[in-house]
Amino acid sequence: MGFPPPEGFKLSLTKATPSPFNHDTLKGQLESIGLNCSELTQSTLQTYVDQVHSQIPDGEVQSFAILAPANDQEIMSLVMPGMALLQTSSSASDMVQVATGDWTADNFADNYGPELQVIQNPDHFKWLYDNSGTTKFTGQYGNPIIKTGYYKTADAIKELFIDSAVAASSALVTGLNKESIQAVMTSVVNPMVNSDLSNYVLENKSRVILLVQMNGDLYTGIGVLTIDYSLYVHDYKRKSKDGGDTHDTKLNMSARAVLYTDPNVLCGNYHAVLKQFNLPDTPTIRC
């Protein structure tokens, strides 16, 4: 007798148009950090976009939320109009939505949002990973990316885009689809809060992507991908006439992800974390 077909996850998602990564969104991100020089022509911007697109790996996993920590003071200008804080749980920090993925969640809490947010916490994820023999945790770390060198500022930003795509795919066995990766790229450049600063610094930033895997109309998998990154560009507005247009640049990036195919394992991991870290065991809709 054959095995019954998998039941999948019961989710409330609506198909969406992912945030596009094009010359308009790239221009907006560069201008948000004060790069509004005449070199940012449509042709130049399109060349950068084409270069990024050509290096994005394509995968199978889709996204239904692209989030950032709400306590990031620079992030609020990226928050999508009409989007409120996403209350995760009493055991996790609040998040805000900064881009649209392949799907949107009709209700964050009804789609394992609080549980996944708790699980992706770096300390919680590491504990689950280190104890995978007993927790049945299948999460993985991607290959860390560390770059140093001298880049033009726009080139440094381009490397940030490309490396975010590489990091995202390296943490998932079947990779993240291009549309989701491009949507993430529309939010990774934080605007400058203080335009008088000479160095461009993104320190300890993160993006949290809630994942869904499809088989026809069936939601066969759900998970979370977290990308952590830092970028430093020294004297990033300096021009050739002032001593050269390349800048001392440092880029660090890492990723971690887990994709669940069994809701019982997901909920088991969630409650195991709450117990291990003495967190409030607040009832959730799904677990």
pLDDT tens by residue, 112-166 = 999 999 999 999 999 999 999 999 999 999 989 998 888 777 787 888 888 888 8
**Is residue 268 pLDDT above 90, yes or no?**
yes
Residues whose CB is less than 8 angstroms from the CB of residue 256 and which lie 6 or more positions away in sequence, other chains included: 120, 122, 125, 139, 140, 141, 142, 171, 225, 226
Q: Is residue 185 part of a domain?
A: yes
Residue 240 pLDDT class (50, 70, 90 cuts): low
Higher pLDDT, 28 or 133: 133
Indicate whether 202 pLDDT > 90.
Answer: no
User: Does residue 64 fall inside a structural domain?
Assistant: yes
* Residue range 274-283, pLDDT digits in tens: 999 999 877 7
Token pair 């809701």: residue: 263
Compute the Cα dihedral for 237, 240, 243, 245 and give only its sign. Answer: positive
- For residue 7, is it within any domain? no
Domain housing 114: 13-276
| 108 domain-assigned | yes
pLDDT, tens digit (0-9, with 9 covering 90-100), for 77-120? 555 544 444 555 545 567 888 899 999 988 888 899 999 999 99
Total of domains in the chain: 1
Among 103-117, 134-148, 183-197, 245-259, the range scoring the smallest mean pLDDT is 183-197
What are the C-alpha distances in Å from 64 to residues 9, 44, 131, 180?
Answer: 14, 32, 28, 9
Nearest Cα residue to 65 out of 127, 124, 107, 8:
107
Percent with pLDDT over 90 in the chain = 41
Closest among 262, 238, 261 to 249, alpha carbons compared: 238
Q: What is the CA 235 to chain-centroid distance, rounded? A: 27
219 falls within a domain: yes
Q: Is residue 283 part of a domain?
A: no
Q: How far apart, in Å, do the first and last CA atoms of the chain sit? A: 32
Position 18 pLDDT exceeds 50: yes
Q: Is residue 51 part of a domain?
A: yes
